[in-house]
Amino acid sequence: MRAHREAIAVAVVVAALIVAPLGQGNYIAYLLCSWLMLAIAAMGLNLTLGYAGRISLAQASFIGIGAYATSIVTLAHYPWVLGMAVGVVLCFLVGLLLGFPALRVRGHYLAFVTLAFNSLFFLVARNEDWLTGGTYGLSGMPRPRIGPVSTSGQLAFYYFTLAVALLAALVLRLIVRSPWGRAFKALRENEVRAESLGLDVRRLTLLAFAIGSAYGGLAGAIEAPLVQYIDPGSFDVVQSLSLLLMVVVGGLGEFWGPVLGSAVAVLLPEALRVTAAYYLMLYAIAVILLMTRCPGGLIGLARRIAARPARRRGAAVS
Q: Least distance to other proteins from the beta carbon of 179, Å?
A: 4
> Under DSSP, is residue 272 helix (H, G, I), strand (E, B) or coil?
coil
CB 280 within 8 A of CB 270: no
Question: Which of residues 84, 141, 194, 227 is near other proteins by CB under 8 A?
Answer: 194
The answer to whether residue 183 forms part of the interface with other proteins (CB under 8 A) is yes
The answer to whether residue 193 forms part of the interface with other proteins (CB under 8 A) is yes
Question: Which of residues 165, 188, 215, 216 is near other proteins by CB under 8 A?
Answer: 188
The answer to whether residue 192 forms part of the interface with other proteins (CB under 8 A) is yes
Helix (H) or strand (E) holding 155: helix 154-177
When the beta carbons of 50 and 87 are compared against other proteins, the nearer one is: 50
Question: Which of residues 6, 128, 129, 200 is near other proteins by CB under 8 A?
Answer: 200
The answer to whether residue 129 forms part of the interface with other proteins (CB under 8 A) is no
Question: Which of residues 93, 111, 166, 201 is near other proteins by CB under 8 A?
Answer: 201
The answer to whether residue 6 forms part of the interface with other proteins (CB under 8 A) is no
The answer to whether residue 190 forms part of the interface with other proteins (CB under 8 A) is yes
- Strands of 228-270 (E only): list them: 229-230
The answer to whether residue 304 forms part of the interface with other proteins (CB under 8 A) is no
Candidates 95-103, 117-125, 172-180, 307-315; binding stretch for other proteins (CB under 8 A): 172-180
Q: Least distance to other proteins from the beta carbon of 189, Å?
A: 4
Q: Least distance to other proteins from the beta carbon of 201, Å?
A: 7
CB 255 within 8 A of CB 173: yes
Instruction: Find the binding residues for other proteins in span 252-291 (CB under 8 A).
Output: 253
Q: What are phi and psi of 138, to 5 degrees?
A: -125, 145
* Dihedral angle of Cα 197, 201, 205, 210, to the nearest 10 degrees: -100
Question: Which of residues 113, 199, 227, 266 is near other proteins by CB under 8 A?
Answer: 199
Bridge-based pairing of strands 149-150 and 145-146 is: antiparallel
Distances (CA, A) of 147 to 19, 81, 84, 158, 302: 24, 12, 16, 17, 42
Q: Least distance to other proteins from the beta carbon of 211, Å?
A: 11
Distances (CA, A) of 66 to 63, 122, 170: 5, 14, 20
Judged by CB under 8 A, the number of residues near other proteins is: 25
String of DSSP letters for 280-317: HHHHHHHHHHHHHH-TTHHHHHHHHHHHHHHHHHHHHH
Chain residues that interact with other proteins, rule: CB under 8 A: 175, 177-183, 185-186, 188-190, 192-201, 203, 253
